Amino acid sequence: MRSPRFTILVLALVAGLLVPAALPAPASAAGSFVDKQVQMNILLLQGYINTQAEKNGFVYPAKADVKKGGALIAPVWPGNPWTGGTMAPGASRGTYTYTVKADLSGYTLVGHLSKGSYKIVGGVPKWLKDERDVSSKAGLALVQQYVEMWARAHAGDYPPAEDVAAGGPVGLQPGVPIWPQSPWTHAAMTQGQATGDFTYAPSGGGSGYTLRVHLATGKDWTVSSSTP
């Protein structure tokens, strides 16, 4: 008669044979885990970008600045979990693509995964856009006053477009204490197509003009005048 100990040993061996061996995790599961690391690193970059922009009046970093060793302040630069190296701009998995608007008012950050991508979009908050649009309108109203001053001093003739600038004849005429600044660049308002820029167009014969300032809404705010 076999002992109870022998019976228990046999049962244990049989149970061990019936339990399947642990299988390695499928590649898809491993890829998903590493992709999560890529997403976390993109969120870290987003934090650096937003923090620097807030300190600079919501002017976002230039494209060339967002890389290791660039002007972006990043205490700990993220790595590429797929290669074990530094996370860098690119199009392969574990890299990122950073694009910024021409006026540095918004950006798109895309992390490249094993399949697909992880996209983040950021920009100036609406409340600040509204405030800056109000400032842009106030600046244009001041430019309008200087244009009108010029006309009164020149027998009702309005200045040509090239003269309406901070360093031009209109900006340097007597009675102009200060030229308005763009709330976006914090420099003198200039004629151009960027947000906060203005355009000035005299009518035929210099008898009138149209002034427009470009707002964050994508629309222009317009003032115009003409002599009788």
Same domain, 112 and 134: no
Same domain, 138 and 193: yes
Quick check: is 101 in a domain? yes
Same domain, 142 and 156: yes
Are 151 and 143 in contact by the 8 Å Cβ rule? The answer is no
- How many domains is the chain partitioned into structurally? 2
DSSP calls for 160-211? PGGG-STTSHHHHSTT---PPBPTTTSSB--BSSSTT-EEEEEPGGGSEEEE
pLDDT of residue 27: 54
227 — pLDDT class (breaks 50, 70, 90): very low
Same domain, 131 and 220: yes
90 — pLDDT class (breaks 50, 70, 90): very high
Quick check: is 7 in a domain? no
Query: Which of 89, 123, 157 is the last residue in one of the domains?
Result: 123
Rounded distance between C-alpha atoms, residue 183 and residue 22, angstroms? 63
Query: Which of 80, 106, 123 is the last residue in one of the domains?
Result: 123
How many CA atoms does the CB half-sphere of 56 hold within 13 Å?
18
Quick check: is 65 in a domain? yes
- Quote the mean pLDDT of the chain: 87
Measured torsion, CA atoms of residues 36, 40, 45, 46, in degrees rounded to the nearest 10: 100
Closest CA to 209 of 153, 156, 136: 156
The dihedral through the CA atoms of 174, 175, 178, 183 has a sign that is negative
pLDDT above 70 as % of the chain? 85
Quick check: is 14 in a domain? no
pLDDT of residue 95: 98
pLDDT of residue 91: 96
Mean pLDDT (whole number) for 146-155: 95
Mean pLDDT (whole number) for 211-218: 94
pLDDT tens string 27-73:
566 678 999 999 999 999 999 999 999 999 899 999 999 999 999 99
Same domain, 221 and 132: yes
Same domain, 60 and 149: no
Quick check: is 13 in a domain? no
Domain range holding 87? Answer: 29-123
Same domain, 86 and 151: no
Same domain, 33 and 109: yes
Quick check: is 15 in a domain? no
pLDDT of residue 57: 86
2 — pLDDT class (breaks 50, 70, 90): low
Same domain, 137 and 108: no
Quick check: is 23 in a domain? no
pLDDT tens string 115-135:
999 999 999 999 999 999 999
Query: Which of 101, 123, 145 is the last residue in one of the domains?
Result: 123
pLDDT of residue 70: 96
Residue 195 has pLDDT above 50, yes or no: yes
pLDDT of residue 226: 54
Residue 102 has pLDDT above 90, yes or no: no
Quick check: is 11 in a domain? no
**What CATH number is attached to the domain comprising 220?**
3.30.700
Q: Please list, in sequence order, all residues whose beta carbon lies within 8 angstroms of the beta carbon of residue 14, skipping any fewer than 6 positions away.
A: none
Q: Which residue has the tokens 């890829």?
A: 31
Distance from the first to the final alpha carbon of the chain: 127
